[in-house]
Amino acid sequence: MKVKVLSRNPDDYVRETKLDIQRVPRNYDPALHPFEVSREYTRALNATKLDRVFAKPFVASLDGHRDGVNCMAKHTNSLSTLLSGSCDGEVKVWNLTKHECVRTLQAHEGFVRGMIVRFCGTSFFTVGDDKTIKQWKMETPGYGEEEEPLNTILGKTVFTGLDHHQKDAVFATCGQQVDIWDEQRSSPIRSFTWGVDSFSSVRFNPVETELLASCASDRSIVLYDMRESAPLKKVIMTMRSNSLCWNPMEAYYFTSSNEDYNLYTYDMRYLNKPIIVHMDHVSAVLDVDYSPTGKEFVSASFDKTVRIFPKDVGHSREVYHTKRMQHVICVKWSADNKYILSGSDEMNIRLWKANAAEKLGVLAPRERQASNYNQKLKEKFHYHPQIRRIAHHRHLPKSIYHQSKELRVMKEARRRKERNVRKHSKPGSVPVVSEKEKHVVTVVK
């Protein structure tokens, strides 16, 4: 009689060295792993739920300003440094890792209107209501040294915004006109006007570094080329734009935040209508900043919320708010794509995670793999109603919730009316105007 014994080749299951991964024999026969769709669906559902449970975006609040935070600036090569200017002319330099203020200086009388760090990161510029442009050293002055600007330029009018060139010693200000300044000179090397209106914001294109755009108070967005003597083009909208930001990865796109609660992404080559209208805010949008990957942007609004929009989607993917946060005036996306900073009326700067449910800190390889897999699962099943319901659920404060509801009703009513008018008039006499076309008045050459 033969005795049956298990016999296996040790080569199949013994690892060669200690450093090898343990060999786990697997049988991939699908008959042994049935119901793959339903199993993965369950996993996706769980991942989505956990995502919402772990969504804790608020990281820290930096307090210390004695007036509303009016502007902020990212350091160009230090992630842990943030500069902020308040409405009383005070500028503070923050260490974000320690959540503390490392330096305070009285930069201006009145508001600090704009602030920007030079591309090398050794100095920064501020403009204020006292008609001055000041350049400051980034280093803290030593003991006994006076806190003095490196350079002060007295302007003729109030400056409302400021931006620095990506790699040249040139910066741009805006106020009654848009000025291009050489750092070495006390008068602008070029100034652009178009009409008599004042400008609220000016931004250099980070890729095509000679181009810049500004928002004017005559509801227009104007494009300039630094090398030309005249502005390039302007688009007039139905309401005023407060600020704009260029997409850092796609040079021809920019997004402007508008008074009519919306944001508009334009292609600078085709200004006659925005590519996308981003809606969700329930009050004027005050500031916008792109993520460094150019895939998303964050907007700050007067409705006391911060929202994150994918660059090519019309609605926000995230809304951040806290009980104590008032009108958010300025917002920045950190240069490593992980954090969002918002400065608001009630003197605080808040630090948020860009992905609300993301784990901070070091991830073990398996952890990362798991999170990647979960992400993919969520993506795969995101059309399924239950998963969508959970993934899209957000809590909103009562006031904003009701306001958005009201706005929805209003919009619906308007649409209904338009439809009725169209129905009862001669065919073709009331054309259908798309949402994108609605907000542009004209493009001026």
Partner 1 sequence: MAKVSSKKKLSKTKAKKSSEVAGDSAVKKTEVVYDEEEEEDKEDFNENVTSEEEEEDGEDERRRQKLLEAISALGGKRKKTLGERSEAAVQLSEFSVNAEGEGDKINLSDLIGSMDKTPQVSAKTRKQLKTLQQSNRTVESPLSKQETERIQRDVAFQKAQLVFPLNQEAPGPKPMERVVTGWKARTPLEEEIFALLSANKQPIHDPILTPQEEVSMKAMSLEEAKIRRAELQKARALQSYYEAKTRRERKIKSKKYHRVQNKAKRKDFVKQFEEMVKSDPAAALEELHKMELARMQERMSLKHQNSGKWAKSKAIMAKYDEGARKAMQQQLEVNKDLTQKLVTAVNDEEEEEEEEDEGGDPEVLPDFVNDAEQGVDSSNPWMRGKLSEDPAEKETSEIVDLTAEEESADVEEEEEEEVKETEEEALLREFDSRRKRRQALIPVISLDDDEEEESKTAAEEEEESKTAVEEKEESKEEEESKVAAVEEEEEEEEEEGAALRVYKPLQRNRRDVSSRGLSLAAADTETSSAQLEETLMRIRTLEDTEELLMQEESAADEAPVPPPAAENPPPASQPAGTNKKRKRGIELKQVLTKATKVIQVPLAHTVEDAEDSDDNQEQRGLIREAFAGDDVVSDFLKEKRKQEAAGKPQVVDLTLPGWGEWGGTGLKLSRRKRKKFRMKAAPPPPRKDVSLPGVIISEKRNRSITLHQVNTLPFPFETHTQFESTIRTPLGRTWNTERTVKKISKPKVVTRMGAIIEPMAREELMKDRNQATVADRNSVNSGKRKRRGGGERDVSWRFHVH
Alpha-carbon gap, residue 82 to 63, rounded angstroms: 13
Of residues 391-430, those binding partner 1 (CB under 8 A): 392-396, 398, 400-401, 404
Of residues 175-214, those binding partner 1 (CB under 8 A): 206-208, 210-211
Q: Which of 85, 322, 377, 439 forms a contact with partner 1 (CB under 8 A)? A: 377
Site pattern 7..46 for partner 1 (x: CB under 8 A): ---------------------xxxx-xx-xx-xxx-x---
- If the CB atoms of residues 327 and 373 are measured against partner 1, the closer one turns out to be 373
Alpha-carbon gap, residue 111 to 91, rounded angstroms: 10
- If the CB atoms of residues 65 and 278 are measured against partner 1, the closer one turns out to be 278
- If the CB atoms of residues 105 and 279 are measured against partner 1, the closer one turns out to be 279
* Rg of the chain in Å (alpha carbons): 27
DSSP 34: -
Residue 323 contacts partner 1 per CB under 8 A = no
Beta strands in 159-240 (DSSP E): 161-164, 170-174, 178-182, 190-192, 199-204, 211-216, 220-225, 233-237
Residue 52 contacts partner 1 per CB under 8 A = yes
To the nearest whole angstrom, how small is the minimum distance from the Cβ of residue 390 to partner 1?
5
- If the CB atoms of residues 239 and 396 are measured against partner 1, the closer one turns out to be 396
Under rule CB under 8 A, how many of the chain's residues touch partner 1?
Answer: 98
To the nearest whole angstrom, how small is the minimum distance from the Cβ of residue 394 to partner 1?
5
Length of the chain measured in residues: 445
Residue 388 contacts partner 1 per CB under 8 A = yes
Q: Token pair for residue 411?
A: 């919009």
Alpha-carbon gap, residue 271 to 359, rounded angstroms: 40
Alpha-carbon gap, residue 101 to 78, rounded angstroms: 15
Site pattern 343..372 for partner 1 (x: CB under 8 A): -----------------x--------x--x
Per residue in 67-105, is it b (16+ CB within 10 Å) or e — as a string?
Answer: bbbbbbbbbbeeeebbbbbbbbbbbbbbebeeeebebeb
For the chain, the distance separating the N- and C-terminal CA atoms, rounded to the nearest angstrom, is 100
Of residues 205-264, those binding partner 1 (CB under 8 A): 206-208, 210-211, 223, 225, 228-233, 248-253
Q: Token pair for residue 54?
A: 């772990």
Residue 322 contacts partner 1 per CB under 8 A = no
Instruction: Determine the interface stretch with partner 1 among 142-150, 324-332, 386-394, 420-428 (rule: CB under 8 A).
Output: 386-394
Site pattern 283..302 for partner 1 (x: CB under 8 A): ---------xxxx-------
Segment holding 365, helix H or strand E: helix 365-380
Of residues 98-137, those binding partner 1 (CB under 8 A): none
Which residues partner with 313 through β-bridges? none
- If the CB atoms of residues 64 and 292 are measured against partner 1, the closer one turns out to be 292
- If the CB atoms of residues 85 and 231 are measured against partner 1, the closer one turns out to be 231
DSSP 270: B
